């Protein structure tokens, strides 16, 4: 009887039911779209941060460079007597930070709630190469009139002069990163994938092997099997890597021990990459490291995220603040409107419910009937809302608007989180700009939330209508009889 009456009433009052369902659908659809866009923002920010510190890294430990080391300039010495011969000189410099002892990684790894910690060495290579050409000495035209000809505009000097000669040199600078090959799941190389050749392995700890970033390889026509000469040492390129998003952390990746040898920095590192055993303990781990490893700067992903600016940051703020509050306001308004419409519909059914009570229906049965109709309206609204929400999320993903994230905000991130900082990127630019295509993924949790909202909207509307229906008396039906 209940379902028969329910089906007939919904069919007879299709327009009213559709209005209530559409009101709920708009609110639920907006919630799904905003939640999906917000998830897309989180994923976009995750890609930006991943391009800096690598997959799985929760924080880094560094030590700021001193003023004296920051002003040190490399010196190059060449032999000017070697006419016509090619000359080259490399200088390998520690980039961005003061060095830490390699044992710092072990010390950090022993802290509570630290799953693992590995070290890395950030270097910059300055390469000068070119040739000197000696000039040719041409003797004077002799004595006698030489003194009269030697003045300004008077031709050649009687003592002769050197003509021609000179020097032509090119300067090249690129970044090198020493990677702890015993664990490649942390650090900057983990944010890149090998697209050609092979990557570094634990067996390459002392090998003269290198992985080159794809952009640098293309610019310098480097392929797998090529050789790079750094400070007189030849390295074989075993693989080409491509950054997952944004710029790569370095142009060339070498085994850590090899990088330390090139920089005359034995048992030295510039960055410790830390993976916490529990994401809820990151703040506690940061405090413990700052206490037990004094003089260092600990930078977490949250610290670095605060330095991300640009349209990505603006859009994320809008989605998190304005968008969510707007969707909540619209959802509340939809619930209230649904409740008022249901209550109004009950008022128009006074004769019907009064007659049913006169026939013996209890107030509870009338209330259950109204609640049932409202729940069905809510489920219909939920289905329509899910469809609207999925359509909105699909539209955002199909358009894929490009958002710009500027990293560093014109300077380095906290604790050196800019170039060479959190993630050890070796770029010297004051800021980096990364373009990210926005998507709007819809999770199962979002769909479940939509269903719960639909049921909640139906219950709220049913509560309004049920309360109104329970107060009707059979005498009310008689007053409406014409």
429-472 pLDDT per residue, tens: 334 566 667 788 888 888 888 888 888 888 887 777 777 666 66
Q: Per mean pLDDT, which of 144-148, 245-249, 402-406, 457-461 is the most reliable?
A: 457-461
Identify the pLDDT of residue 269.
93
Sorted by sequence, the CB contacts under 8 Å of residue 368 that are 6+ apart come out as 2, 466
Structure confidence at residue 239 as a pLDDT band (50, 70, 90): very high
pLDDT of residue 317: 60
Q: Report the Cα–Cα distance between both ends of the chain, in Å, rounded.
A: 29
Choose from 57-71, 146-160, 313-327, 392-406 the range with maximum mean pLDDT: 392-406
Digit-coded pLDDT (tens) for 328-374 = 777 787 778 777 777 777 776 767 776 777 777 777 777 777 788 78
Least confident range from 113-117, 201-205, 327-331, 473-477: namely: 473-477
The first and second tokens of residue 66, run together, are: 């001193």
**Confidence check: pLDDT of 278 > 60:** yes
| Assigned token pair, 348 | 């128009």
Phi-psi region of 55 (alpha: psi -120 to 50; beta: other; left: phi over 0): beta
- Percent helix, strand, coil in the chain, to 5, is 45, 25, 30
Q: Model confidence at 167, in pLDDT bands (50, 70, 90)?
A: low
Q: Does 261 or 337 have the greater pLDDT score?
A: 261
What pLDDT, on a 0 to 100 scale, did the predictor assign at position 143?
A: 47
**pLDDT for the residue numbered 420:** 40
* Whether pLDDT at 290 is above 80: yes
Whether 288 and 296 have beta carbons less than 8 Å apart is answered as: no
User: Does residue 397 carry a pLDDT above 60?
Assistant: yes
The answer on pLDDT for 303 being more than 60 is yes
Q: How far apart are CA 359 and CA 75, in angstroms?
A: 105
Q: Label residue 255 by pLDDT band (50, 70, 90).
A: very high
What residue spans of 153-279 are helical by DSSP H? 214-219, 256-262
**Contact at 8 Å (CB) between 480 and 351?**
yes
pLDDT at position 245: 64
Percent of the chain with pLDDT over 90: 16
Six-digit token string for 426: 């070796």
Q: What is the mean pLDDT of residues 176-192?
A: 86
More confident residue, 18 or 297: 297
Record the tokens describing residue 395, joined without a space.
């539209």
Q: Give yes or no for residue 181 having a pLDDT over 60.
A: yes
pLDDT(237) > 90: yes
> What CA–CA distances, in Å, run from 95 to 52, 92, 243, 397?
16, 9, 21, 40
Cα 353 to Cα 366: distance, rounded to the nearest angstrom: 7
Asked if 57 and 273 touch (Cβ cutoff 8 Å), the reply is yes
Which 3 state secondary structure label does DSSP give 90?
strand
Most confident segment among 27-41, 260-274, 372-386:
260-274
Bridge partners (DSSP) of residue 88 are 129
Q: Is the pLDDT of residue 120 over 60?
A: yes
> Which SS3 state, helix, strand or coil, does residue 404 take?
strand
| pLDDT recorded at residue 430 | 37
- How much is the average pLDDT of 177-194? 86
Mean pLDDT of all residues in the chain?
75
pLDDT of 474 above 90: no
Strand pairing category for 308-309 and 402-407:
antiparallel
Using one digit for the tens of pLDDT, what is the confidence trace for 189-219?
887 889 999 999 999 999 999 999 999 999 9
Nearest Cα neighbor of 238 from 258, 222, 218, 262 is 222
Buried b (16+ CB within 10 A) or exposed e, 230-258: beeeebebbbbbebebbbbbbbbbbbbbb
Confidence at residue 30, expressed as pLDDT on a 0 to 100 scale: 83
Task: Please report the pLDDT score of residue 41 as a whole number.
Answer: 73
């Amino acid at each position: 009887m209940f379902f028969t009456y329910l089906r007939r009433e919904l069919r007879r009052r299709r327009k009213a039911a559709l209005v209530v369902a559409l009101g709920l659908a708009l609110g639920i659809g907006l919630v799904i779209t905003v939640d999906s866009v917000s998830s897309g923002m989180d994923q976009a920010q995750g890609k930006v941060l991943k391009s800096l510190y690598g997959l799985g890294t929760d924080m880094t430990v560094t030590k700021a460079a001193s003023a004296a080391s920051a002003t040190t300039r490399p010196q190059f010495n060449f032999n000017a007597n070697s006419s016509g011969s090619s000359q080259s000189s490399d200088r390998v410099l520690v980039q961005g930070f003061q060095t830490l002892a390699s044992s710092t990684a072990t010390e950090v790894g022993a802290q509570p709630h630290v799953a693992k910690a590995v070290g890395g060495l950030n270097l910059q290579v300055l390469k000068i190469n070119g040739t000197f050409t000696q000039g040719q000495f041409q003797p004077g035209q002799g004595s006698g009139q030489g003194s009269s000809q030697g003045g300004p505009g008077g031709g050649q000097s009687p003592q002769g002069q050197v003509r021609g000669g000179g020097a032509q040199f090119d300067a090249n600078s690129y970044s090198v990163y020493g990677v702890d090959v015993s664990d490649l799941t942390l650090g900057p190389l983990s944010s890149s994938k090998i697209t050609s050749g092979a990557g570094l392995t634990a067996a390459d700890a002392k090998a003269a092997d290198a992985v080159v970033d794809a952009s640098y390889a293309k610019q310098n026509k480097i392929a797998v099997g090529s050789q790079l000469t750094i400070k007189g040492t030849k390295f074989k390129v075993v693989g080409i890597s491509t950054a997952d998003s944004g710029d790569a952390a370095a142009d060339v990746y070498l085994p850590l021990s090899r990088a330390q040898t090139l920089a005359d920095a034995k048992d030295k590192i510039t960055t410790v990459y830390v993976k916490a055993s529990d994401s809820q303990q990151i703040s506690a781990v940061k405090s413990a490291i700052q206490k037990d490893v004094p003089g260092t700067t600990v930078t977490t992903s949250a610290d670095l995220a605060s330095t991300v600016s640009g349209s990505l940051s603006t859009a994320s703020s809008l989605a998190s603040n304005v968008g969510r509050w707007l969707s909540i306001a619209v959802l509340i308004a939809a619930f209230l409107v649904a409740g008022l419409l249901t209550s109004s519909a009950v008022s128009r059914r006074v004769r019907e419910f009064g007659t049913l009570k006169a026939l013996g229906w209890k107030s509870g049965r009338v209330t259950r009937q109204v609640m049932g109709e409202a729940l069905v309206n809510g489920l219909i609204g939920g289905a329509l809302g899910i469809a609207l929400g999925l359509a909105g999320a699909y539209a955002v993903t199909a358009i894929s608007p490009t958002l710009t994230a500027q990293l560093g905000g014109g300077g380095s991130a906290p604790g050196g989180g800019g170039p060479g900082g959190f993630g050890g990127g070796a770029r010297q630019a004051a800021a980096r700009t990364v373009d990210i295509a926005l998507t709007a993924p819809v999770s199962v949790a979002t769909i479940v939330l939509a269903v719960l909202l639909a049921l909640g909207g139906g219950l709220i509307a049913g509560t309004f209508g049920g309360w109104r229906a329970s107060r009707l008396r059979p005498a009310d039906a008689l007053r409406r009889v014409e």
